[in-house]
């Protein structure tokens, strides 16, 4: 049953990530879509810290696991560097780290 909950949450997170990328990806040279899903996922995971059982499997592992994307973050950072946009790549990494950790800390504090 737990694996099914993770799968359902993962499917929802993957579709949500896809929709955010479709909405944003072609409109800007900065990887805002990945930034947004990673920060939103960090905030949601901060809120979900401490949940157990079905909610943990469905939301924390499934939804947040599929919504956030470290591999795309890494790929887009390297792409920015390859396009000669190293300062933008550094800004992207710094902004993602600060916003992601900040969102998680804020929502941990709010719960």
pLDDT tens sequence for the chain (111 residues)? 999 999 999 999 999 999 999 998 778 889 999 999 999 999 999 999 899 999 999 999 999 999 999 999 999 999 999 999 999 999 999 999 999 999 999 999 998
- The answer to the question of whether 91 is labelled as a binding residue is no
Please give the Cα distance from 94 to 111 (Å, whole number): 26
| pTM of the predicted protein model | 0.92
Q: How many CA atoms are closer than 13 Å to the CA of 93, on its beta-carbon side?
A: 13
Angle at 98 between CA 95 and CA 102, to 5 degrees: 135
Name the burial class of residue 107, with classes exposed (0-12), middle (13-18) and buried (19+) by CB atoms within 10 angstroms of its CB.
middle
The CA-based dihedral angle spanning residues 94, 95, 97, 103, taken in that order and rounded to the nearest 10 degrees: 160
Residue 60 is part of which domain span?
A: 2-110
Total of domains in the chain: 1
């Amino acid at each position: 049953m737990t694996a099914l909950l993770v799968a359902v949450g993962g499917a929802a997170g993957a579709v949500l990530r896809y929709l955010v990328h479709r909405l944003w990806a072609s409109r800007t040279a900065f990887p805002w879509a990945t930034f947004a899903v990673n920060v939103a996922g960090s905030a949601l995971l901060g809120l979900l810290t401490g949940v157990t059982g079905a909610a943990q499997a469905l939301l924390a592992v499934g939804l947040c696991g599929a919504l956030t994307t470290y591999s795309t973050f890494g790929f887009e950072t390297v792409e920015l560097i390859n396009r000669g946009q190293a300062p933008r790549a550094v800004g992207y990494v710094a902004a993602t780290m600060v916003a992601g950790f900040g969102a998680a800390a804020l929502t941990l504090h709010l719960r």
